[in-house]
Amino acid sequence: MVLSNLADYESSAVKPEDFQEFWRQTLHETELVELNPRLSLDRMRSNDDVEVFTARYDSYDSLEIAGWYARPRNYSDPLPGLLFVPGYVSEPKLPTDLARDGYAVFSAAPRNKLRSNMVFNPGYPGLLTHNIESRSTYGYRGFYMDAVRAFDFLCQMPEVDENRLGVLGGSQGGALTLLVSSLRNKAVAAASAGAPYLCSMMDSASLTRTYPYEEINDYLRLNPESEAVVRDTLNLYDIHNFVDQIECPIIVNIGLKDDVCPPETGFAVFERIGSDNKQLYPYKDCGHESGAGQGHGKVITDFFAKILSPNPVGPSTGGFTPEI
């Protein structure tokens, strides 16, 4: 499909009338739970340049959520902060490279991820259709809030400059980047979303036959009478319906041969992003890696460095590409 056709793609996702109220109430319920951020130094994973901590905080439904927090070992001025959010299959990245580049970094593990899956663990495949016929208990409700509260965790770190905060991730991490940038739009200063998942979800289930989206098709083959209910739930959670709230500078990268997150939906969500400072990087010969092997890691590194102004404490890593 040529670029002009991709750019003209129209999503079938419809924003429900109660969309804003549903998420306002969900955020309110989440914020009633005290964040209670905790850090424990991990000496084994720390090095001469970077301190690494096991991090924990409390989130929606009072679930304890874990992650990795890393910062330069020696710093004097406040640090720019980065939130890294993981893909559907991958576990949270140990963010020592980004900390060496001069950032305080929180690599979050939302519920269902390693170290955060003792209570909620629908598995893979499983998360995408967990309680999919219930708007109020759908699996991604708490998962989304875990990502938002991970950003709040980063904001509460005393060494972090609250005016220099970024979010990044690929695939599901790309979706969560767009989500956090929407729901915390007054605080996020820069964002990078790669191959964003959870966009135009019902369309994606018809545009590809790969997992995770094939979970939707599997579910509807067993429950064909539930299609309208499933569509209603997914419209409420579709990232396409959040992104008009984004205000910060943002870059989005997609692979035009991606058979996991269809490029049509990537173009559609990019067009809907509310920021007037946005740039799309389409990679013609790439699949779901969406430019990882063509130097996009350096694009991400340079983008954040220009806006957040870190002071590196060690040799540059030469570019960063989120795991998908």
Phi, psi for 137 (deg, rounded to 5): -120, 10
- Give the model's pLDDT for residue 76: 84
Tell the burial category of 183 from Cβ atoms under 10 Å away from its Cβ (0-12, 13-18, 19+).
buried
66-70, 79-83, 93-97, 201-205: which range is least confident on average? 93-97
- Conformation bin of residue 62: beta by default, left when phi > 0, alpha when psi is -120 to 50: left
Those residues whose C-beta lies under 8 Å from the C-beta of residue 72, and which sit 6 or more positions away, are 49, 50, 51, 79, 99, 100, 102, 104, 311, 313
| Other CB atoms within 10 Å distance of the CB of residue 25 | 12
Q: What is the mean pLDDT of the chain?
A: 92
Percent of the chain at pLDDT > 70 equals: 92
Report whether pLDDT(190) > 70: yes
- Give the model's pLDDT for residue 324: 59
Q: Give dist(CA 142, CA 137) in Å, integer.
A: 8
Percent of the chain at pLDDT > 90 equals: 82
Going from the C-alpha of 293 to that of each of 168, 196, 285, the distances in angstroms are 18, 17, 10
Tell the burial category of 33 from Cβ atoms under 10 Å away from its Cβ (0-12, 13-18, 19+).
middle
| Average pLDDT of span 67-82 | 95
| Average pLDDT of span 15-23 | 98
Q: Give dist(CA 62, CA 22) in Å, integer.
A: 19
Phi, psi for 120 (deg, rounded to 5): -115, 115
How would residue 294 be classed by pLDDT, with cut points 50, 70 and 90?
A: confident
- Give the model's pLDDT for residue 93: 85
How would residue 22 be classed by pLDDT, with cut points 50, 70 and 90?
A: very high
- Give the model's pLDDT for residue 87: 84
Report whether pLDDT(116) > 60: no
Report whether pLDDT(320) > 70: no
| Average pLDDT of span 229-235 | 98
Q: Give dist(CA 200, CA 254) in Å, integer.
A: 15
CATH fourth-level superfamily of 3-308: Alpha/Beta hydrolase fold, catalytic domain (3.40.50.1820)
| Nearest CA-CA partner of 98 in 166, 194, 186 | 166
pTM of the entire predicted model: 0.95
- Give the model's pLDDT for residue 256: 95
pLDDT tens for each residue of 251-288: 999 999 999 999 999 999 999 999 999 999 999 999 99
Q: How far is CA 297 from the centre of its chain?
A: 16
- Give the model's pLDDT for residue 322: 58
What is the SS3 assignment for the chain?
CCHHHHHCCCCCCCCCCCHHHHHHHHHHHHHCCCCCCEEEECCCCCCCCEEEEEEEEECHHHCEEEEEEEEECCCCCCEEEEEECCCCCCCCCCCHHHHHCCCEEEEEECCCCCCCCCCCCCCCCCHHHCCCCCCCCCHHHHHHHHHHHHHHHHHHCCCEEEEEEEEEEECHHHHHHHHHHHHCCCCCCEEEEECCCCCCHHHHHHHCCCCCCHHHHHHHHHCHHHHHHHHHHHHHHCHHHCHHHCCCCEEEEEECCCCCCCHHHHHHHHHHCCCCCEEEEEECCCCCCCCHHHCHHHHHHHHHHHHHCCCCCCCCCCCCCCCC
Q: Give dist(CA 237, CA 172) in Å, integer.
A: 13
- Give the model's pLDDT for residue 131: 96
pLDDT tens for each residue of 159-179: 999 999 999 999 999 999 999
How would residue 110 be classed by pLDDT, with cut points 50, 70 and 90?
A: confident
Query: Which amino acid is residue 25, in one-letter code?
Result: Q
Task: Write out the catalytic residue numbers.
Answer: 171, 258, 288
Give the N- to C-terminal CA distance of the chain in Å, as an integer: 24
Report whether pLDDT(2) > 60: no
